Amino acid sequence: MVQIGDVFEEMNKHFNPSAATNLDASFQFNISGPAGGIWAFKIKSGTCQLVKGGVDKPSVEIALADQDWMAIRDGKLNSQMAFMQGKLKIKGDMNLAMKLQAIFPIS
C-alpha cells in the first residue's frame, strides 16, 4: 500500500525545473487524518527540496484529509472539484497554487 510520504517522494522525482526557473517559493501540504502529516517543497532557481515537517512561512498552504489526498493521487477525485467542495483548502498565493500541476507533472 502506498503511503502519503511516498506520494511526495514521487512528486519530487517528477519535479519540472523548467516550470520553476525563476521561482522562489514554498508549497506546504498539511494532510490531516491518521495517515497525515506535513510536507513542503522549497523551490528556488529551478531546484526543489522536499521538507518533511514543513517550512516557516510557506508561499502556499494546501490542507486536506489523507483519504482525499490519496483519492486525488489515484485520479478518483479532481483537485478543482475537491476545492469547490471545501475538501481542499488553499492559503496564500492562489496563482502559485495553480502552477503546481506544471511544476509536478504526474501523468
Residue 81, CA distances (Å) to 39, 60, 85 in order: 22, 19, 6
- The per-residue pLDDT string of the chain (107 residues; one tens digit each, 9 = 90 and over) reads 678 899 999 999 999 999 998 899 999 999 999 999 999 999 998 999 999 999 999 999 999 999 999 999 899 999 999 999 999 999 999 999 999 989 998 75
Please tell me the pTM assigned to this model: 0.93
The topology (CATH level 3) of 4-95 is Nonspecific Lipid-transfer Protein; Chain A (3.30.1050)
Return the pLDDT at 92.
96
Q: Where are the domains of the chain?
A: 4-95
Return the pLDDT at 21.
87
Return the pLDDT at 2.
74
Residues 53, 38: contact at Cβ < 8 Å? yes
Backbone phi and psi for residue 52, each to the nearest 5 degrees, phi listed first: -75, 130
Pairing between strand 24-32 and 60-65?
Answer: parallel
**Per the structure block, which three cell numbers stand in for 33?**
487524518
Residues 42, 13: contact at Cβ < 8 Å? no
Backbone phi and psi for residue 23, each to the nearest 5 degrees, phi listed first: -95, 135
